[in-house]
Amino acid sequence: MKFKEIEFENRNCTRIYRDYLKRVRNTVKILNEQNQQEILLEINSHLFEGFSDNPNGRDEVEHLLDILEKLGQPEEFLKPLIANKKLEEATRTFNPLEIVKALTLNISNGISYIIFAILYLCLFGFLFLIIAKLIDPDHVGLFYRAKDIFILGQYNNSDGVSYLQYERLGNWFIPLMVVASITLYILLTLLLKLKKNINHKPL
């Protein structure tokens, strides 16, 4: 459906209306083009219906301002909708940058999103270990000795103690970290998508 501006007889009404839609556009610009258009069309339709319902023939400006006041500030009332749609976009594309943006928008919507943010942060720690292994292979890896040593990551041998002889993965460390990172990323994103679908399951 193509967007069409509402036509007003009063020029001040047109200015107020366009200014409000500009605020809506600025608020939803974090979303993809399709979602931006859907929200804009929905709000425009709401304004059109509200403005058309004027049985007492009230002043156009007064009537429009009342409608906008009831609808609310777009920067506020659109927040939950934008957060939900951004999460939908992110879990559909599996784009890590979009995931971060979506979690940032949803961080105030419950502790579960905070947990997801922490898990993704831990996941990016695996990627750091891959780089660290390339830079300092002797001090990064899986170091294990029964009932004594278990280190997955990097250790500091400032005390002169070396665990190199207990490194268990060797050249397999980087491939396994890559596979683990990809697998966990896909799993976390699918779980995030599942949570989103459960939370917004229609009644």
Residue spans per domain, the chain: 11-77, 93-199
CA atoms within 13 A on the CB side of 74: 21
For residue 203, pLDDT over 60 is answered with: no
Q: Quick check: helix, strand or coil at residue 115? A: helix
Q: What residue type is 48 in one-letter code?
A: F
Identify the pLDDT of residue 111.
87
Considering 19-23, 47-51, 144-148, the range whose residues carry the highest mean pLDDT is: 19-23
For residue 55, pLDDT over 70 is answered with: no
pTM of the model: 0.73
The string of pLDDT tens digits covering residues 98-157 is: 998 998 888 887 888 889 988 988 888 888 999 999 999 999 999 999 888 999 998 887
The sign of the CA dihedral 54, 59, 65, 70 is negative
Q: Quick check: helix, strand or coil at residue 1? A: coil
